[in-house]
Structure 1
């Protein structure tokens, strides 16, 4: 866990919550406030009030509102990346693993609508160098999709004329949009949405031979 600069990780007495618990609560509350008010409209006072603490006490954990947004955005990105990386490692050919990744990404998005919205809406509020720090020099999240498409191409499972980066961006663009229209408890479950979006994506990029084997 990131340690705010110049702060001790030790608790004073028995009154302060354990650092890990309080930090997780701060990230959760800040995410909700940024979602409700937007980064520009939210203040540290709003977040402190929601936490039931003095605004000055926030500086035990953070240095600024921008730094807090960076931590929120980083947490969302890290959690989502862990999900799709785990899905990418499931046994199977690259096309099957790509399908697993798409399903995992969609289901994770549906179950984390508020963090996803904050990430997609407020990432641009960070300076370019901080955005790059979150995403990684090789755009790690996008890279999971791109690498699997490239592997599938080498095995003749994805059309040779498809640009892997463009394919990855297309899949991510369509699946990310789920956060705008998915409603918990609605007609479509995360599992159903994930399965159908994955099939649509695979049908759009796979070779005829691969499609014949997958959907006889």
Structure 2
């Protein structure tokens, strides 16, 4: 193993990159889509859950061991995590500006979104009862009701999301597609 990886820390950096690189790339694409913020938030949710389902072994290490990184190895990981959080926070803020969500403390709302998703790896079984799309529908339904603006009618986010996906079959929600094309370690 050390022929390919110089140290345990370098192995951890590679695992971090295999999780966040494709996910962050996909999140950027989703954030820039020309559709309303709720649909983009729902698509981001499904993409995040797809990563969790496909890379449970990596996610476990990613969530538990990134704090073991130091110095120049830690900063890029923290930067990627912060960028992902900014993308989520931006979509939540847009939904509030759009009138779909009530005014929320951005950091707290982002942490709620992330906590709802990020702990899935602890109990999910990839060949089990649920798939990423099902969990995303449920998670986002919970968020919509909880974050919803008082008196606002809940939009049919699932119908809008499915219509958007049908209109854009070229939009892969699976960050795995990029992961598979990642360079092999030398």
TM-score normalised by length of structure 1 = 0.65
User: How many correspondences in the alignment?
Assistant: 157
> Please, what is the CA RMSD of the aligned residues?
2.2
Aligned to 2:29: 86
CA separation of 1:167 and 1:79: change in aligned 2, threshold 3 A = same
Structure 1, unaligned runs of 5 or more: 1-47, 49-54
Larger Rg computed on CA atoms: 1
Counterpart secondary structure, 1:212:
coil
Stretches of structure 2 that go unaligned for 5 or more consecutive residues are 158-186
8 Å CA contact retained: 1:135, 1:141:
no
Instruction: Work out the CA distance in 1 between the residues paired with 2:22 and 2:62.
Output: 12
Alpha-carbon deviations, 1:79-102, whole Å to 9, x = none? 221232233233311122112211
Select the residue among 195, 204, 207 that pairs with 2:146: 204
Displacement of 1:149 in angstroms is: 1.0
Query: The residue matched to 1:152 in structure 2 has which SS?
Result: helix
Match of 2:183 in 1: none
**2:60 paired with 1:117:** yes
Q: Which of 1 and 2 has higher RCO (CA within 8 Å, sep 6+)? A: 2
Instruction: Answer yes or no: is the 8 Å Cα contact 1:99–1:202 preserved in 2.
Output: no
Displaced runs of 4 or more, over 3 A: 208-215
Task: Give TM-score, length-normalised by structure 2.
Answer: 0.74
Could you list the per-position Cα deviations for residues 100-131 of structure 1 after superposition, in whole angstroms to 9, with x for gaps in the alignment?
21122112211221111110011111126533
